[in-house]
Amino acid sequence: MKQKFGIDQRGNPITLFIIQNDRFVMCVSDYGATLVSLIDRKKNIDIVAGFDDVQDYVNHVSHFGAMIGRVANRIKDASFTLDKTTYHVSANKGRNSLHGGWNGFDKMLFHGEEHDNQVVFTATSPDGDEGYPGTLDIRITYTLDEQGVHIVCEGETDQTTLFGITNHSYFNLNGNGTINDHEVTLFADQYAPNDETGTATGQLLSCEGTPFDFRKGKLIGTDFESDDLQIRMTNGYDHHYAVPGSGLRDMAVCKANGLKLVTRSNLPGIHFYTGNFLNGDYTGHNGTNYGQHERVCFEPEYYPNAINYEGHEKPILPANKRSVQIIEYLLSDED
């Protein structure tokens, strides 16, 4: 099923696609290939923050529910060297590039097609788009089943480029209110500290004995008042975690309100963000204001700025090769 979702900044009509089964209702938009809503019919709550008209997605810069690309997170000084050529991409976060630039995937209009329990979005990012080389063909497939949401993002280019996506959904398993009662487990022994611009430094530090240790599970808000400089800099968590292994695997588990959300991916790590910079100015579904520490993001990704660091897997997509990047958000009753 689909319905009108308003008009974007270019005057294009936007469509909302609605897929449902016995447990869930999933709404996705062709603007930004965005996860707009995920309703648990059993609890009668929407666990994903979002808006009721595309203009809110056009006007806001917090990337609610959007697919992020060409490269998720930051590229320091908005430049990188690839095949001995230096490229300058959009500097939309101070001197750095964030989440693909001013007009990344989150501001892109995709072509959407509904197939049974799937919506397939396709688009082409032209050579030079936001400064990136190569014409990139993108295919993003959302599948809804009784486990939850499965996202497969495929990219193919005619010239070697960068391609490292994420999804930027904001979750609250209560539907509304604080996330301080959410218990989180992160399957990572190491995290990346940030510099003064919020860019990962290239290091990986041990979580052991720090506020960043979520290996055994703890309430999100346990260390919000910590004196740890990294926590103070970001008013919470806004950090990359390196998840051991390869292939599709569990990265994070979040529990609250009798629900369990499992994030799975085949990407190298995950960014853990606790809605530190939401200030209540955004009014979303059912008149909900999204305030600080009322939403949490689990964003599988490559190490931030990996293209400019040694020792980290780089999001390089060679010419005429295809990359398949997978993110799953699986929801069930808590054990």
DSSP per residue, 174-226 = TSSS-STT-EEEE--SEE--B-TTS-B-S--EE-TTSTT--TT-EEGGGGTT-
Q: What is the pLDDT of residue 335?
A: 78
The gap between the terminal CA atoms of the chain, to the nearest Å, is: 33
Residue 322 has pLDDT above 90, yes or no: yes
Q: What is the pLDDT of residue 312?
A: 98
Give residue-wise pLDDT tens across range 58-109: 998 899 999 999 999 999 999 999 999 999 999 999 999 999 999 999 999 9
Q: What is the pLDDT of residue 69?
A: 98
**Residue 109 DSSP class:** B
Residue 282 has pLDDT above 90, yes or no: no
Give residue-wise pLDDT tens across range 154-168: 999 999 999 999 999
Q: What is the pLDDT of residue 243?
A: 99
Residue 308 has pLDDT above 90, yes or no: yes
Q: What is the pLDDT of residue 169?
A: 99
Residue 177 has pLDDT above 90, yes or no: yes
Read off the tokens for 44: 């009668």
- Give the mean pLDDT of 180-184: 98
Residue 172 has pLDDT above 90, yes or no: yes
Q: Which residues contact 169 (CB under 8 A, 6 or more apart)?
A: 35, 38, 48, 49, 64, 65, 297, 329
Residue 146 has pLDDT above 90, yes or no: yes
Q: What is the pLDDT of residue 247?
A: 98
**Residue 314 DSSP class:** -
User: Which domains occur in the chain, in start order?
Assistant: 2-333 (2.70.98.10)
Give residue-wise pLDDT tens across range 111-123: 999 999 999 999 9
Give residue-wise pLDDT tens across range 36-69: 999 999 999 999 999 999 999 999 889 999 999 9
Q: What is the pLDDT of residue 136?
A: 99
Q: What is the pLDDT of residue 266?
A: 99
> What distance in Å separates the CA atoms of residue 72 and residue 79, rounded to the nearest whole number?
14
Count of CB atoms within 10 A of residue 269's CB? 28
The residues that are catalytic are 168, 299
DSSP string for 137-155? EEEEEEEEETTEEEEEEEE
Q: What is the pLDDT of residue 61?
A: 85
Count of CB atoms within 10 A of residue 177's CB? 12
Count of CB atoms within 10 A of residue 326's CB? 18
> What distance in Å separates the CA atoms of residue 295 and residue 299, rounded to the nearest whole number?
13
Q: What is the pLDDT of residue 279?
A: 92
- Give the mean pLDDT of 188-197: 98
